[in-house]
Amino acid sequence: MTGKIEVNLLTGRSLDQAVGLEIGKASKEYFNSVSCVELSKADVDTLKLEKDTTVEISTSHGRVILSWRVSEGLSPGSAFVAYGPWINQILGSETNCTGTPQYKGVKAIVKPANGEHVLTLLDLVKALKEAP
């Protein structure tokens, strides 16, 4: 049985994301930088994640499949994903009358994705175009 953990989801700028977006949003560099979640070593151990697998992150707004890597700078219970269309699949648009959605400190559930693949940018755009 695979486990799951609750995390504080943090999104933000990363150097790789910035470099990648200036190459292009359809580039491999951009994809690699924004479709990967960073987790603490302790959380990776708790989830028993195996190398080169994917994880599912879910909130009340939806779910998304991402690759993962360990970040030494994160405390257990925090997860970081660089800004981009992948993580925005599960963020809410409430702004509390400020205009700004909550991109950081969002409660989310992380669990192994059991072989599901990360969608491509074209997959994401196609889903938006075909949405009812």
Question: CA nearest 67: which of 92, 46, 44, 90?
Answer: 44
The verdict on 101 binding another protein (CB under 8 A) reads yes
Task: Please tell me whether residue 41 binds another protein under the rule CB under 8 A.
Answer: no
Q: Which residue's CB is nearer to another protein, number 53 or number 78? A: 78
Q: Which of 4, 5, 83, 109 is close enough to bind another protein by CB under 8 A?
A: 83
Residue 72 touching another protein (CB under 8 A): yes
C-alpha R_g of the chain: 14
The DSSP annotation for 19-65 comes to HHHHH-TTSHHHHHHHSEEEE-HHHHHHHTPPTT-EEEEEETTEEEE
Question: Where on the chain is the footprint of another protein (CB under 8 A)?
Answer: 8, 10-15, 18-20, 22-27, 61-62, 71-75, 78, 80, 83-85, 88-93, 95-105, 121, 124-125, 128-129, 131
